[in-house]
């Protein structure tokens, strides 16, 4: 039996190295596609982001062809997601649970799911909301990344609470419904 030639060994080594690098790059991109921070950032450390232009409200077109002013006259909870982000389903469910709890208690706040992928269709997003059992959750497509840029949101599964004055008072990745409600109460709801 003969051993492989040095050229064949080098070729195999290069191929293995290339595959290992490709696998590492794929893993890094996959892990960064959805936010992985499970702790809420304190308002003191992150509340300043997105506040420079926050005095003016944006009128956002919703998927149901209505509009919503953000920040508006009451605190707003905005959850940034994409249909293709598996981790985002839990955060969107939490937002819907918080919205239902506020509605049941007669408390006032805006709730908005913001799709960060401008290529996802209205129908696809509505199917996603039906799938997670949140068909009544107000949603919009962040065309031109207007909301993402205004509030400096770069990662999927990010939730922010914006006070009526326009200040971001809370920022977290995939918070629970209780955490969302508490943050809205602190913002004046």
* Higher local confidence (pLDDT), 62 or 33: 62
Answer whether residue 43 shows pLDDT above 90: no
Position 50 confidence tier, pLDDT thresholds 50, 70, 90: very low
Residues 119-144 have pLDDT tens digits of 999 999 999 999 999 999 999 999 99
What is the C-alpha separation between 162 and 77, in angstroms, rounded?
A: 7
Residues 22-35 have pLDDT tens digits of 555 444 444 444 54
pTM value surpassing 0.75: no
Q: Which of 90, 113, 89, 88 is nearest to 33 (CA)?
A: 88
Cβ–Cβ < 8 Å for 41, 172: yes
Q: Show me where the domains of the chain are located.
A: 1-32, 43-186
For residues 48-72, average pLDDT:
75
Instruction: Domain 43-186: state its class.
Output: alpha beta
């Amino acid at each position: 039996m003969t051993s492989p030639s040095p050229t064949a060994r080098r070729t195999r080594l290069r191929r293995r190295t290339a595959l290992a690098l490709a696998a590492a790059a794929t893993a890094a991109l996959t892990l960064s596609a959805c936010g992985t921070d499970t702790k809420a950032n304190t308002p003191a450390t992150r509340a300043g982001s997105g506040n420079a232009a926050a005095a003016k409200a944006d009128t956002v077109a919703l998927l149901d062809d209505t509009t919503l002013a953000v920040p508006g006259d009451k605190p707003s909870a905005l959850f940034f997601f994409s249909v293709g982000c598996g981790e985002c389903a839990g955060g969107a469910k939490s937002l819907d649970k918080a919205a239902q709890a506020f509605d049941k208690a007669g408390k006032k706040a805006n709730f908005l799911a913001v799709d960060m992928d401008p290529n996802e269709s209205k129908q696809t997003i509505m199917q996603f909301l039906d799938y997670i059992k949140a068909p009544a959750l107000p949603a919009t497509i962040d065309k031109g990344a207007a909301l993402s840029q205004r509030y400096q949101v770069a990662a999927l599964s990010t939730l922010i609470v914006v006070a009526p004055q326009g200040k971001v008072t809370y920022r977290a990745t995939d918070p629970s419904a209780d955490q969302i409600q508490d943050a809205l109460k602190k913002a004046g709801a």
